A = this chain, B = another copy of it.
Amino acid sequence: MAKESFNTYSYLLDRTNRRIKQFAQKRFKEESFDITVDQWLVLKSLNQENDQNQSELAEQIGKDNPTLTRIIDLLCKKELVERRQLPSDRRCFTLHLTDEGKQKMEEWAPKVAEIRMKAWENLTEKDYEDLKRILNTIYQSLEI
């Protein structure tokens, strides 16, 4: 294949990724979910596993610490998440959904699952598997 073509794949990937976010964000707005897609990712992770500190959570969702700090700041301001000082290591906070956060998660989760599913509706089971494998192969080829 011509070298030039590889630019095209990067472009397709970028474009598709953007549209997935864009679509979800638009639907979030329509449903009056007052969060971004990335904020959703954080809430979802905290809902599955409380007591994570920021570094663990950052690793979990694949974002860096400064980015996560800001997402957490925003979620705290919305009173969906709270930081708790860890007495055993005063450098750390553990992160927790507030009661309101838990309630919103119950309310939002089924609808979000539906919205997120939309992207994949015209793919076969084999397509999912192939996509997963291909993306992971790329990811590992670029180990930093």
Whether the pair B141, A134 counts as a contact (CB closer than 8 A) is no
> Considering only CB atoms and an 8 Å cut-off, how many residues of chain A contact the other chain?
53
With A113-B3, A137-B123 as known contacts, state yes or no: A13 contacts B17, CB within 8 Å. yes
In the assembly, what is the distance between CA of A23 and CA of B143, in Å? Answer: 8
The dominant DSSP class at the A interface is helix
One of B11, B128, B130 near A1 (C-beta < 8 A)? B128
Whether the pair A22, B119 counts as a contact (CB closer than 8 A) is no
Whether the pair A135, B4 counts as a contact (CB closer than 8 A) is no
Listed in ascending order, the chain A residues whose CB lies under 8 Å from chain B are 1, 3-7, 9-24, 26, 41, 44, 61-62, 113-114, 116-123, 125, 127-128, 130-132, 134-142, 144
Whether the pair B19, A17 counts as a contact (CB closer than 8 A) is no
